[in-house]
Protein backbone atom coordinates (compact mmCIF):
# COMPACT_ATOMS: atom_id res chain seq x y z
CA UNK A 1 0.00 0.00 0.00
CA UNK A 2 1.35 3.41 -0.96
CA UNK A 3 1.19 6.57 1.14
CA UNK A 4 2.78 9.98 1.32
CA UNK A 5 4.22 11.17 4.61
CA UNK A 6 5.03 14.75 5.51
CA UNK A 7 7.81 15.78 7.88
CA UNK A 8 7.60 19.48 8.72
CA UNK A 9 10.66 21.48 9.75
CA UNK A 10 9.74 24.52 11.78
CA UNK A 11 11.67 27.78 11.66
CA UNK A 12 14.72 27.89 13.93
CA UNK A 13 14.17 24.28 15.03
CA UNK A 14 15.94 20.97 14.81
CA UNK A 15 14.32 17.85 13.38
CA UNK A 16 13.17 15.18 15.84
CA UNK A 17 15.27 12.05 16.05
CA UNK A 18 12.46 9.97 14.53
CA UNK A 19 12.02 12.26 11.53
CA UNK A 20 15.77 12.73 11.14
CA UNK A 21 16.16 8.98 10.66
CA UNK A 22 14.01 9.23 7.53
CA UNK A 23 15.88 12.30 6.30
CA UNK A 24 19.19 10.53 6.91
CA UNK A 25 17.96 7.65 4.75
CA UNK A 26 17.44 10.11 1.88
CA UNK A 27 20.84 11.73 2.42
CA UNK A 28 22.65 8.39 2.63
CA UNK A 29 20.93 7.16 -0.55
CA UNK A 30 20.77 10.49 -2.35
CA UNK A 31 22.35 9.16 -5.55
CA UNK A 32 19.68 6.46 -5.85
CA UNK A 33 16.95 9.11 -5.79
CA UNK A 34 18.45 12.02 -7.68
CA UNK A 35 20.98 10.49 -10.09
CA UNK A 36 20.74 8.27 -13.15
CA UNK A 37 23.04 5.35 -13.83
CA UNK A 38 23.54 6.69 -17.34
CA UNK A 39 22.81 10.22 -18.62
CA UNK A 40 19.37 10.48 -20.21
CA UNK A 41 19.00 12.10 -23.63
CA UNK A 42 16.45 14.94 -23.57
CA UNK A 43 15.08 17.55 -25.93
CA UNK A 44 16.50 21.07 -25.71
CA UNK A 45 14.48 24.27 -26.03
CA UNK A 46 15.32 25.86 -29.39
CA UNK A 47 17.10 29.14 -28.87
CA UNK A 48 19.76 31.43 -30.23
CA UNK A 49 21.88 31.97 -27.16
CA UNK A 50 23.30 35.47 -26.80
CA UNK A 51 26.81 34.09 -26.38
CA UNK A 52 26.79 30.50 -27.66
CA UNK A 53 24.60 30.72 -30.72
CA UNK A 54 22.06 28.13 -31.83
CA UNK A 55 21.18 25.35 -29.40
CA UNK A 56 21.37 21.65 -30.34
CA UNK A 57 18.17 19.62 -30.65
CA UNK A 58 19.18 17.25 -27.84
CA UNK A 59 21.54 17.02 -24.89
CA UNK A 60 21.97 14.87 -21.78
CA UNK A 61 20.82 15.28 -18.19
CA UNK A 62 23.24 15.98 -15.38
CA UNK A 63 23.16 14.71 -11.80
CA UNK A 64 22.02 16.91 -8.93
CA UNK A 65 24.58 17.50 -6.16
CA UNK A 66 23.63 16.51 -2.62
CA UNK A 67 24.24 20.09 -1.44
CA UNK A 68 21.01 20.98 -3.26
CA UNK A 69 19.22 19.29 -0.35
CA UNK A 70 21.64 19.54 2.57
CA UNK A 71 21.56 23.35 2.49
CA UNK A 72 17.99 23.28 3.85
CA UNK A 73 18.38 20.63 6.55
CA UNK A 74 19.14 21.33 10.22
CA UNK A 75 21.02 18.72 12.28
CA UNK A 76 23.63 18.48 9.49
CA UNK A 77 25.79 21.47 10.35
CA UNK A 78 25.47 22.65 6.74
CA UNK A 79 22.14 24.49 6.72
CA UNK A 80 22.36 27.87 5.03
CA UNK A 81 20.92 31.04 6.45
CA UNK A 82 18.20 32.22 5.88
CA UNK A 83 16.53 28.84 5.35
CA UNK A 84 16.71 28.05 9.04
CA UNK A 85 14.36 31.01 9.55
CA UNK A 86 11.41 29.69 7.51
CA UNK A 87 9.22 26.61 7.58
CA UNK A 88 10.20 23.73 5.30
CA UNK A 89 8.85 20.25 4.70
CA UNK A 90 9.80 16.97 3.09
CA UNK A 91 7.18 14.69 1.58
CA UNK A 92 8.06 11.00 1.21
CA UNK A 93 6.32 8.62 -1.18
CA UNK A 94 6.38 5.11 0.25
CA UNK A 95 5.02 1.80 -1.00
CA UNK A 96 5.05 -1.17 1.32
CA UNK A 97 7.20 0.81 3.73
CA UNK A 98 9.85 1.48 1.06
CA UNK A 99 10.56 5.09 0.07
CA UNK A 100 10.62 5.61 -3.70
CA UNK A 101 10.65 9.40 -3.99
CA UNK A 102 10.58 12.69 -2.14
CA UNK A 103 9.75 16.37 -2.53
CA UNK A 104 11.28 19.21 -0.54
CA UNK A 105 9.49 22.55 -0.22
CA UNK A 106 10.12 25.90 1.44
CA UNK A 107 7.21 28.08 2.66
CA UNK A 108 6.63 31.83 2.88
CA UNK A 109 9.53 32.89 0.70
CA UNK A 110 8.28 36.48 0.91
CA UNK A 111 9.51 36.60 4.51
CA UNK A 112 13.18 36.25 3.47
CA UNK A 113 13.26 38.23 0.21
CA UNK A 114 15.51 40.92 1.68
CA UNK A 115 17.71 38.63 3.73
CA UNK A 116 21.37 39.59 3.45
CA UNK A 117 22.52 35.98 3.14
CA UNK A 118 20.45 34.96 0.13
CA UNK A 119 22.86 33.96 -2.62
CA UNK A 120 22.54 35.33 -6.18
CA UNK A 121 20.91 32.16 -7.52
CA UNK A 122 18.17 32.20 -4.88
CA UNK A 123 17.68 35.95 -5.29
CA UNK A 124 17.17 35.42 -9.02
CA UNK A 125 14.68 32.58 -8.77
CA UNK A 126 12.59 33.91 -5.88
CA UNK A 127 12.75 37.48 -7.14
CA UNK A 128 11.21 36.46 -10.44
CA UNK A 129 7.80 36.06 -8.81
CA UNK A 130 7.83 37.92 -5.50
CA UNK A 131 6.62 41.25 -6.88
CA UNK A 132 3.69 39.55 -8.58
CA UNK A 133 2.75 37.47 -5.53
CA UNK A 134 2.82 40.52 -3.29
CA UNK A 135 0.40 42.32 -5.59
CA UNK A 136 -2.19 39.56 -5.12
CA UNK A 137 -1.21 38.99 -1.46
CA UNK A 138 -0.32 35.37 -2.15
CA UNK A 139 2.11 33.27 -0.13
CA UNK A 140 5.00 31.96 -2.23
CA UNK A 141 6.12 28.38 -1.73
CA UNK A 142 9.06 26.88 -3.60
CA UNK A 143 9.65 23.30 -4.66
CA UNK A 144 13.37 23.04 -4.10
CA UNK A 145 13.78 19.42 -5.14
CA UNK A 146 11.78 16.47 -6.45
CA UNK A 147 13.55 13.13 -6.89
CA UNK A 148 12.32 9.61 -7.69
CA UNK A 149 14.39 6.44 -7.67
CA UNK A 150 15.40 5.40 -11.15
CA UNK A 151 13.61 2.03 -10.98
CA UNK A 152 10.39 3.78 -9.86
CA UNK A 153 10.28 6.50 -12.51
CA UNK A 154 7.31 6.49 -14.86
CA UNK A 155 4.88 5.56 -12.07
CA UNK A 156 3.47 9.09 -11.54
CA UNK A 157 5.22 9.43 -8.19
CA UNK A 158 6.36 13.02 -8.82
CA UNK A 159 2.81 13.92 -9.84
CA UNK A 160 1.42 12.39 -6.64
CA UNK A 161 3.94 14.26 -4.51
CA UNK A 162 3.05 17.58 -6.14
CA UNK A 163 -0.68 16.90 -5.78
CA UNK A 164 -0.13 16.24 -2.08
CA UNK A 165 1.78 19.49 -1.73
CA UNK A 166 -1.07 21.38 -3.41
CA UNK A 167 -3.59 19.92 -0.96
CA UNK A 168 -1.25 20.71 1.93
CA UNK A 169 -0.94 24.33 0.77
CA UNK A 170 -4.72 24.69 0.42
CA UNK A 171 -5.25 23.37 3.95
CA UNK A 172 -2.49 25.59 5.30
CA UNK A 173 -3.32 28.92 3.67
CA UNK A 174 -7.00 29.00 2.73
CA UNK A 175 -8.07 28.82 6.36
CA UNK A 176 -7.37 32.57 6.17
CA UNK A 177 -10.40 33.89 4.28
CA UNK A 178 -8.42 36.89 3.04
CA UNK A 179 -6.03 34.65 1.10
CA UNK A 180 -7.37 34.22 -2.43
CA UNK A 181 -4.27 32.84 -4.16
CA UNK A 182 -1.34 30.55 -3.47
CA UNK A 183 1.71 30.45 -5.73
CA UNK A 184 4.08 27.48 -5.92
CA UNK A 185 7.38 28.14 -7.68
CA UNK A 186 9.88 25.67 -9.06
CA UNK A 187 13.31 25.77 -10.68
CA UNK A 188 14.76 23.00 -12.82
CA UNK A 189 18.34 22.30 -13.79
CA UNK A 190 19.87 22.75 -17.22
CA UNK A 191 21.35 19.96 -19.29
CA UNK A 192 24.90 18.62 -19.22
CA UNK A 193 26.06 21.38 -21.58
CA UNK A 194 23.96 24.10 -19.94
CA UNK A 195 21.01 24.22 -22.32
CA UNK A 196 17.34 24.41 -21.28
CA UNK A 197 15.78 20.99 -20.73
CA UNK A 198 12.61 21.05 -22.82
CA UNK A 199 11.59 17.53 -21.87
CA UNK A 200 11.54 18.44 -18.18
CA UNK A 201 9.77 21.77 -18.60
CA UNK A 202 7.12 20.04 -20.75
CA UNK A 203 6.60 17.56 -17.91
CA UNK A 204 5.89 20.34 -15.41
CA UNK A 205 3.69 22.22 -17.86
CA UNK A 206 1.48 19.12 -18.06
CA UNK A 207 1.10 19.39 -14.28
CA UNK A 208 -0.15 22.96 -14.56
CA UNK A 209 3.08 24.95 -14.13
CA UNK A 210 3.73 27.93 -16.37
CA UNK A 211 7.40 27.71 -17.27
CA UNK A 212 9.34 30.90 -18.10
CA UNK A 213 11.33 30.15 -21.24
CA UNK A 214 12.51 33.62 -22.21
CA UNK A 215 13.16 35.14 -18.79
CA UNK A 216 16.96 35.15 -19.11
CA UNK A 217 17.18 32.90 -16.04
CA UNK A 218 18.97 30.26 -18.14
CA UNK A 219 21.82 32.65 -18.95
CA UNK A 220 22.75 33.28 -15.32
CA UNK A 221 22.06 29.71 -14.13
CA UNK A 222 23.66 27.47 -16.77
CA UNK A 223 20.44 26.52 -18.52
CA UNK A 224 18.13 26.57 -15.51
CA UNK A 225 14.44 27.35 -15.83
CA UNK A 226 11.78 28.61 -13.45
CA UNK A 227 8.04 28.21 -13.37
CA UNK A 228 5.02 28.64 -11.16
CA UNK A 229 1.64 27.15 -10.43
CA UNK A 230 -1.16 29.38 -9.15
CA UNK A 231 -3.98 28.06 -6.99
CA UNK A 232 -7.12 30.21 -6.83
CA UNK A 233 -9.58 29.86 -3.98
CA UNK A 234 -12.42 30.05 -6.50
CA UNK A 235 -11.05 27.01 -8.36
CA UNK A 236 -11.18 24.55 -5.46
The predicted-structure confidence for 36-92, as pLDDT tens digits, reads as follows 888 899 999 999 888 889 999 999 999 999 999 999 999 888 999 999 999 999 999
Ranges of the chain whose pLDDT falls below 70: none
Report how far apart, in Å, the C-alpha atoms of 231 and of each of 27, 53, 167, 180, 207 are: 31, 37, 10, 8, 12
According to DSSP, the residues that pair with 53 across neighbouring strands are 49
Task: Please tell me the predicted confidence (pLDDT) of residue 146.
Answer: 98
Task: Please tell me the predicted confidence (pLDDT) of residue 88.
Answer: 97
Task: Please tell me the predicted confidence (pLDDT) of residue 104.
Answer: 98
Is the peptide bond preceding residue 70 cis, with omega within 30 degrees of 0?
A: no
pTM score of the predicted model: 0.96
Check: CB of residue 91 under 8 Å from CB of residue 164: yes
Domains defined for the chain, CATH in brackets: 2-235 (3.40.630.30)
Amino acid sequence: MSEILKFAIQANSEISATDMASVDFILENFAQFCHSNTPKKVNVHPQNHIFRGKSPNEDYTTNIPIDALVRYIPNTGKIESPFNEIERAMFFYTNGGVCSGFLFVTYNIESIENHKNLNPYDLAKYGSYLNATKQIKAPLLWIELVCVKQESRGQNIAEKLIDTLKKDAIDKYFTNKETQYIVIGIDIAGTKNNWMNQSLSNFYEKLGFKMSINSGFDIITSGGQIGYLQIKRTDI
